[in-house]
Amino acid sequence: MHTNQSKQTDKALLDLILLGHVNETAVSIVAANLQAIMGLNTDIRPVLDKPDYAYVPGRNQFDAAKIIKTLCSITDGAPLKLGLIESDLCSPILTFVYGESQLGGKAALVSLHRLSAEDPAVTYQRIAKISLHEVGHLLGIKHCWKTTCLMKHSSDLEPLDSLSLYFCSACEYEIKRHLETLINRDI
Alpha carbons 181 and 168: distance in angstroms, whole number: 20
Is residue 44 part of the contact set for Zn ion (CB under 5 A)? no
> How many residues form the binding site for Zn ion (CB under 5 A)?
6
Is residue 168 part of the contact set for Zn ion (CB under 5 A)? yes
Q: How many CB atoms lie within 10 A of CB 30?
A: 25
Is residue 163 part of the contact set for Zn ion (CB under 5 A)? no
134 noted as active-site residue: yes
Distances (CA, A) of 174 to 13, 136, 145, 179: 17, 9, 15, 9
Tell me the closest approach of the beta carbon of residue 83 to Zn ion, in angstroms: 16
E strands, 32-167, in order: 42-44, 55-56, 61-63, 80-85, 89-91, 94-97, 99-101, 107-111
Is residue 130 part of the contact set for Zn ion (CB under 5 A)? no
Of 38-46, 51-59, 105-113, 144-152, the segment contacting Zn ion by CB under 5 A is: 144-152
Task: Identify the CA nearest to 14 among candidates 144, 97, 137.
Answer: 137
Nearer to Zn ion, 3 or 104 (CB): 104
**Of the residues 149, 160, 163, 182, which one makes contact with Zn ion according to CB under 5 A:** 149
**Of the residues 82, 130, 144, 160, which one makes contact with Zn ion according to CB under 5 A:** 144
Reported as half-sphere exposure (CB side, CA atoms, 13 A), residue 160 has a value of 22
Tell me the closest approach of the beta carbon of residue 163 to Zn ion, in angstroms: 11
Residues 50-89, one symbol each (x = binds Zn ion by CB under 5 A, - = not), give ----------------------------------------
Is residue 40 part of the contact set for Zn ion (CB under 5 A)? no
Is residue 151 part of the contact set for Zn ion (CB under 5 A)? yes
Is residue 140 part of the contact set for Zn ion (CB under 5 A)? no
CA angle in degrees (0–180, nearest 5) for 50-56-58: 135
Alpha carbons 3 and 16: distance in angstroms, whole number: 27
Provide the binding-site residues for Zn ion, judged by CB under 5 A.
144, 146, 149, 151, 168, 171
Give the residue numbers annotated as catalytic, written as ranges.
Answer: 134
